[in-house]
Amino acid sequence: MRETLTVVGLFVLAIALRSARTACLRKLGALTFLSASFCTLYFLTGNLIAGWCGALVWLFLPWIELLTRIRRMRLPVENRLSQRPIPNPSFFPNAREAAMAMEEAGFEHVSDCGWEWDGMKQYFRLFWHPEERAVAAVCLCEQSDVAFAFITITSHDCEGKIWRTTNFPFAPTLRCPPDVRWNHVPCDRNCFHEILGNHRDYLTQLKIPAKQLRIPDPEEIECSIEAEMRRQVAHNLATGVIRLTGDGHFQYSKRGLLFLWGQFLKDMVRFC
């Protein structure tokens, strides 16, 4: 019973730590899960190697999805945004509040649009602010029974570089081009005014003055998003993360699957 209670206690402690609001505690929770798995196999077999295998199995769990669903995915090289109604806000906590906060901060609504990526639907509520020289968006993602929302604030400088602050909860699934810089804030930070403050601080830390930023053109925002995606696809083709399938689509290469595995591991440890 001592071994059983030890394992149960470790799993309960791991779940509690992963539910914490502090990043360090969530990372400690990931290590506690590994410890619980190690103890389970070690107590059952009395073998240290079996215990280490029990701990390491968590690291290889992503390959189940990588070798099944993701390896078969075919994504369009050229994808276009289209005008779409935003889905029921009840599926996307904080999305309506974020849009209202954007309007309170002086951002003007531009459009509601979206696109699909092999079963995953993405919706955007786009806003712009000439004085802030920024574009803000409430992004809604829906795939199967999973739905979540996040916020992005984007600024373009005169050299064409993109500076973006976001509370996107996962690691990127494609490599970012060198002219795109991301400032990730914790995913539980849902207050738009706070994220806007983070974006201003980010630009200040990089010593990018407001006069160096371009005033966005509201009529070109959707085209800018499409152009950025095309550059990202081209960059990942050049680095070997994806490869063309010959029918206007691309899929992840072997190198791409290894890249995604690393991103999965980051998410497992980081958890926002």
**147-196, pLDDT tens digit by residue?**
888 999 999 998 889 999 999 988 899 999 999 999 999 877 888 999 99
> Which helix (H) or strand (E) element contains residue 14?
helix 2-18
Residues 55 and 86 in one domain: no
Indicate the burial class of 144 (C-beta count within 10 angstroms; 0-12, 13-18, 19 or more).
Answer: exposed
At residue 130, does pLDDT exceed 90? yes
Check residue 200 and give its pLDDT.
95
Mean per-residue pLDDT, 27-42: 83
Domains held by the chain: number:
2
What is the identity of the amino acid at 145? D
Same domain (yes/no): 36, 137: no
Domain of 192 in residue numbering reads as 80-248
Q: What is the pLDDT of residue 236?
A: 97
Tell me, yes or no, whether 221 and 143 share the same domain: yes
Task: With residue 125 as reference, give the H or E element that holds it.
Answer: strand 120-129
Confidence class for position 259, pLDDT limits 50, 70, 90: very high
Structure-block tokens of residue 65: 């999805």
**Whether residues 56 and 101 fall in one domain:** no
User: Degrees (nearest 5) of the Cα angle 22, 27, 31?
Assistant: 145
What pLDDT shows up at residue 227?
A: 94
Range 228-255 average pLDDT: 95
In angstroms, the Cα distances linking 159 to 84, 102, 135, 208, 224 are 32, 27, 17, 12, 15
DSSP 216: P
Give the pair of three-digit tokens for residue 14: 């791991």
Please report the pLDDT score of residue 50 as a whole number: 85
151 within 8 A of 167, measured Cβ to Cβ: yes
Q: For the ranges 116-120, 217-221, 231-235, which has the lowest average pLDDT?
A: 116-120
Structure tokens that stand for 113 in this block: 């649009």
52 and 88 belong to one structural domain: no
**Residue 233: partners with Cβ closer than 8 Å, 6 or more residues away:** 77, 174, 242, 250
Can you give the pLDDT at residue 93? 66
Instruction: Please spell the DSSP secondary structure of 162-215, one letter per residue.
Output: EEEEE---S--SSPPPTTEEEEE--TT---HHHHHHHHHHHHHHTT--GGGBPP
Based on the fold, state whether residues 86 and 147 are members of the same structural domain: yes
Same domain, 130 and 243: yes
Rounded to 10 degrees, the C-alpha dihedral 17/18/23/29 comes to 60
Does a structural domain hold residue 74? no
Judged against a pLDDT cut of 60, whether residue 272 lies above it is answered with: no
Residues 16 and 151 grouped into a single domain: no
Extract the tokens encoding 93. 């906590």
Both tokens assigned to 104: 């309170």
Looking at the structure, do residues 151 and 229 belong to the same domain, yes or no? yes
Mean pLDDT of 257-261: 95
Over residues 251-259, mean pLDDT: 96
Instruction: Estimate to the nearest angstrom the gap between the alpha carbon of 170 and the chain centroid.
Output: 3
What average pLDDT score do residues 65-89 get?
88
Domain annotation covers residue 48:
yes
Per-residue model confidence (pLDDT) at position 95? 80
Examine the domain organization and report whether 178 and 229 are in the same domain: yes
pLDDT at residue 188 in the model: 77
pLDDT over 90 at 256, yes or no: yes
Q: Which residues contact 192 (CB under 8 A, 6 or more apart)?
A: 98, 101, 102, 105, 136, 151
- The model's confidence at residue 219, banded by pLDDT at 50, 70 and 90, is very high
User: d(Cα 184, Cα 152) in Å, to the nearest integer?
Assistant: 10
Q: Mean pLDDT check: name the lowest of 20-34, 41-55, 64-78, 139-153.
A: 20-34
Residue 271 has pLDDT above 70, yes or no: no
> 184 with 103, same domain?
yes
User: Cα–Cα distance between 128 and 134 in angstroms, integer?
Assistant: 6
What value does the mean pLDDT of the chain take? 89
**pLDDT confidence tier of residue 197, bands split at 50, 70 and 90:** very high
Residue 40 domain-assigned (yes or no) = yes
CB atoms within 10 A of CB 49: 10
User: Does residue 255 fall inside a structural domain?
Assistant: no
